[in-house]
Every structure is written in structure tokens, then in C-alpha cells.
Amino acid sequence: MVDQHRFLLKESELPTVWYNIVPDLPHPPEPPLHPATREPVKPEDLAPIFPESLIAQEASPQQFIDIPGEVLDLYRLWRPTPLLRAHRLERHLKTPARIYYKYEGVSPAGSHKPNTAVAQAFYNRKDGTRRLTTETGAGQWGSALTMACHFFGLECCVYMVRVSFDQKPYRRVMMQTWGGKVFPSPSENTQAGKDILAKHPDSLGSLGIAISEAIEDAVKTPDSKYSLGSVLNHVLLHQTIIGEEALLQMKQAGEDLPDVVVGCVGGGSNFAGLAFPFLREKMAGKKMLRAIAVEPTACPTLTGGEYRYDFGDVAETTPLLLMYTLGHDFIPPGIHAGGLRYHGMAPLISLLHKEELIEARAFQQAAVFESALVFAGTEGIIVAPEAAHAVKAVIDEAEKCTASGEEKVILFNLSGHGYLDLGAYDIYINEGLPEVNHQS
Ligand SMILES: *Cc1c(COP(=O)(O)O)cnc(C)c1O
């Protein structure tokens, strides 16, 4: 019998709803608080930065939300994405575990991020927005949003974390190809940027600073709104298309629900996108599956942060969110997984971790790249450094099965390819990466 490697859905089998985990949680999440009054934010407080459709989704009590037709039409450019069985990695590890991965690197921007970018651009245009501002770390989010804005005829202005702006020129060029305007952050465009530059002229930047700049710009510029690529409930919601597809594909592969679901976490959206539909099955009592969120030791939000209300940005302009946080003034070292440099974590993921419904792990970047090379050498794909964190955790789990003889089913989110991150591979292969730990 020939091994089947790829489990594909037809375009006509594309799921047509997103899954909202909120009504299924053990208790409701605590509300975001207004930065000045510390009272729960009202929809009108968010109106200067988000369109009304997304404000409504952010607080939706509905378990399933229909995906608009225009969004589905754009999803069809790359969705459904493939589910693959990693036979060659399994054989390399001599593991009895069965390893599957959902490959989001096939999107035009190379990651899962267009799943929400397209949805956010759609709702903004519908509600009358003409221009979106945002921040980007490694450039993955900025490239996804500039593409989505272009499809819907919106202008897009991106504040890109300085260290990535310098390290990743090709992401900037992608954004410009899709018509985006890109500024290194901190920049002179905003008061928030100027304040940082006055104190730290050589600032590497951080997502927290870039968010402050993007919000300030959106509030000051007519017909502009702000867009966030992770963390918020509506962003995690849009990503659940990944897990809804994967549920169908695991069935196609003849599997019951997996034993372990793995994803890397920056703000938490790709992990949520894959894991939430499976956690729904877990919370319904169908299987005691484990979900593992993986982060870098340099920015260990879940494994080293505190669970408390904190700001999403450095300038303290965002609502306060109850989440695991390293502190909103945390500036992570210039690690090579730019997408995992955020100080906070999605409130929904934070709550699940607090309730012990999910687990978290942190790894050193050298160990992460070692795993990425094993994956490239067996499955062929050069994974994004962010996704390599998930690969490292998967290899660890599979090796435990090698030792114990357990035939576990492991599913992970391969959130993006690393073809625009070869600079980081270059440093790992030709120079070596130092240990980086968070100092609290
Ligand atoms: C942005 C990014 C991440 C981290 O963001 P999440 O919101 O936690 O998913 C992970 N992988 C890739 C490829 C990314 O581009």
C-alpha cells in the first residue's frame, strides 16, 4: 500500500463559518478596560479605531459566524490549504507517532495572516473606511494586509519594527508591490515615535511602539482605521477557518481527533486558528486532547509572564486587556522569529492557559533552528522561524513516543514558509545563534 501524504479538500468543501470559542468557555472572558477610566470599554470607545462590524464581532456571543461571500471568494485563491502527513519526519525520528501538519504557507503572502487580513479589509470597506494603518514585526502581517487592502481598494500604511525593516527588505518590497506605504518604527510621523527617538535614537523598535504609532496615525487621519493582525477576539475568530478545514481533513485521513495539537504563539492567532475548533470538541467531552502553545525563551509571555490587565502598546493608548504579559514597555532582544516578539498574549488564549485547558512551552532559538533543519531535510519545506518553534515541540513530543512506544496523533500548524527569512537561517548555519533569555 502506498502511503498517502496529502489530504486535500475540494474548493466546494471550504467551510463557510468561523468558530467563536467565547460561548463555549468555562466562564466569560473579562472585558477590556478603558485606558483612562478603567471601566469596561463601550463600543463607542472603539469607534475611532475599528469599524462597527468588527467591534460587534469582538464581543459576539454567537458560536458560529457566517463568512461573507466576498471573503470566501478571496479565500479560494489559496484555500482550502493542504493537510500533510509527515511520513519522512516520522521515519527519521523512528517514532510510532503519526504527525500531521496544516500548511498555511501556500497563501500569497506565505502565512496564515491573510485569513484575517481579507476579512478585516472587507468589513472596513463595507463600513466606509478608506485607509488602514497597522504595525508589522517580521513583515508577515504587513504583507497580508497590504494585499487585502489592495483587493478592496483601501490605502494601507504600515509601521514596521525597525530591526525587521533593516533585516528583511524583501518583506518591505512585497508590501510596496501590493501598494502599501511602509515606515520603519519608531518614526518621525507620530508623537509616540518622536518621543521614543528622542530618548533612544538607535531604538530597534518593538511591536508595542509600532502599535502606538499606527493607532495615533489612524485617529489623526480622516477616514482611517487601525487594523491588528493578532491578539483580538475577531482576529482569532477569522483564523478558525484553519481548524475547521483540519477537522474535515483529519477525518479524511482516517483519524479520530488528534492527541496533541501544536502551534507557535506570538499574539496567538495561528495557534487559536488551528486549536480552537479542536478545543470545542475537547470541551464537549469528545476527547481529552492536549493543545501546546510554543514561544521563544526570549519573549516567554505564557511561560514567564504575569496574568493581569495590561496595555497592548507602549504609549498606553489601547484598552487594557486581561492577559499574560511581560509588561507593555518590554522590548525583546532582536531574535530571529520577528513574529513572536509581542509582550502580551491574546486574552482568549491567556484565559485558556489560566484555566489549564492548554499548555505552553518555551525554546531557545538555536534548538528551534536545529528542528527547522531536520524538517527541511525530511519534509522539504523551509519553515518560517516562528513555525519552527512548533516543529521543535512536535519533534520533542514524537521523540517521547519513540521512547514510550505510544502511537500518538500529533497535529501542528505550519503557519508559514521561511523563504523570506533566509537571513536568520544564514546566521544559524554560518555563525551560530546565542542563547537568549528574558530577564525579569
Ligand atoms: C505572525 C506570525 C506568527 C505569530 O503570530 P500569531 O498571531 O501568534 O499566529 C507565527 N507564524 C508566522 C508564520 C507568522 O507570520
- Grid cell, residue 37, equals 477610566
How is the chain split into domains, by residue range? 6-13+78-110+240-430, 17-66+114-233
**Architecture category of domain 6-13+78-110+240-430 in CATH:** 3-Layer(aba) Sandwich (3.40)
| Ligand 1 site, residue 384, Cβ cutoff 6 A | yes
The per-residue pLDDT for range 50-78, each reduced to its tens digit, is 999 999 999 999 999 999 999 999 999 99
Ligand 1 pocket mutation, candidates 230, 237, 368, 421, criterion most atoms within 8 A of CB: 230
How far apart, in whole angstroms, are the C-alpha atoms of residue 172 and residue 143? Answer: 8
CA 385 to chain CA mean position, Å: 13
The per-residue pLDDT for range 329-364, each reduced to its tens digit, is 887 776 777 678 789 999 999 999 999 999 999 999
| Ligand 1 site, residue 411, Cβ cutoff 6 A | no
| Ligand 1 site, residue 142, Cβ cutoff 6 A | no
Written as one string, the DSSP assignment of 76-116 is TTTPSPPEEE-HHHHHHHT-SSEEEEEEGGGSTTSBSTHHH
Q: Could you give the angle at the alpha carbon of 425 between the alpha carbons of 421 and 430, nearest 5°? A: 145
Strands (DSSP E) found in 145-211: 155-161, 181-185
Q: How far is the CA of 203 from the centre of ligand 1 (A)?
A: 23
The per-residue pLDDT for range 129-144, each reduced to its tens digit, is 999 999 998 899 999 9
How far apart, in whole angstroms, are the C-alpha atoms of residue 273 and residue 356? Answer: 18
Which tops the pLDDT comparison, 315 or 290?
290
Say what the pLDDT of residue 439 is: 61
- Look at the chain and count its residues: 440
The pLDDT of residue 43 is above 60: yes
Which residue's alpha carbon is at the smallest distance from atom 10 of ligand 1?
A: 386
The pLDDT of residue 224 is above 80: yes
| Ligand 1 site, residue 385, Cβ cutoff 6 A | no
State how far the alpha carbon of 125 is from the alpha carbons of 42, 56, 282, 400, in Å: 22, 16, 37, 49
Q: How far is the CA of 176 from the centre of ligand 1 (A)?
A: 21
Q: How far is the CA of 216 from the centre of ligand 1 (A)?
A: 24
Q: Do domains 6-13+78-110+240-430 and 17-66+114-233 have the same CATH topology?
A: yes
| Ligand 1 site, residue 386, Cβ cutoff 6 A | yes
Q: How far is the CA of 271 from the centre of ligand 1 (A)?
A: 8
Which residue's alpha carbon is at the smallest distance from atom 7 of ligand 1?
A: 269
- Mean pLDDT in residue range 257-280: 98
Ligand 1 pocket mutation, candidates 112, 207, 271, 389, criterion most atoms within 8 A of CB: 112
27 bridge partner residues: none
How far apart, in whole angstroms, are the C-alpha atoms of residue 185 and residue 56? Answer: 30
| Ligand 1 site, residue 332, Cβ cutoff 6 A | no
How far apart, in whole angstroms, are the C-alpha atoms of residue 316 and residue 319? Answer: 8
Is this prediction's pTM over 0.85? Answer: yes
Which residue's alpha carbon is at the smallest distance from atom 14 of ligand 1?
A: 339
Which tops the pLDDT comparison, 331 or 272?
272
Say what the pLDDT of residue 334 is: 66
Ligand 1 pocket mutation, candidates 106, 264, 299, criterion most atoms within 8 A of CB: 264
CATH code 2.60.120.20 for 17-66+114-233: no
